[in-house]
Amino acid sequence: MPQIVFLPNEDLCPEGAVVEAEAGQTVLEAALKSGIHIEHACEKSCACTTCHIVVREGFKSLGESDELEDDMLDKAWGLEPESRLSCQAIVADKDLTVEVPRYTLNHAKEQH
């Protein structure tokens, strides 16, 4: 079973985490199932960028992004060549190392 290494993120997993993922599951589904609450304002419908991740290792094992995801990623803060939306990145049979950027663009989120 593939593993996903989540690099430390001050808000989501300060120490980092290693989670088990099932092939065919999205990175977001694996994270949520393991208690890593990546924001997903559009409820996994590929309509925002709040679940943006950067795949540091294993990027080529993921399926290609489609045009809709690419269009959404163009709006993501801190876009990198290995950026994906975690709700669309489907785990294959390889381990992944991902980073959840510190900032996201969520125009609907209430400010404290």
Domain spans, the chain: 3-92
- Which pLDDT band holds residue 109 (cuts at 50, 70, 90)? very low
* pTM exceeds 0.75 for this model: yes
| Residue 10: C-alpha distances to residues 13, 24, 72, 102 (Å) | 6, 28, 25, 8
pLDDT digits (tens, 9 = 90+) for 57-67: 999 999 999 99
Burial, 96: exposed, middle or buried (Cβ in 10 Å; 0-12, 13-18, 19+)?
A: buried
pLDDT digits (tens, 9 = 90+) for 7-58: 999 999 999 999 999 999 999 999 999 999 999 999 999 999 999 999 999 9
The predicted pLDDT at position 50 comes to 94
pLDDT tops 50 at residue 87: yes
The predicted pLDDT at position 106 comes to 52
User: 15 vs 112, which has greater pLDDT?
Assistant: 15
Percent of the chain past pLDDT 70, that is, above it, reads 91
**Residue the block writes with tokens 């679940």:** 51
- Which pLDDT band holds residue 104 (cuts at 50, 70, 90)? low
The CATH superfamily holding the domain 3-92 is Beta-grasp domain (3.10.20.30)
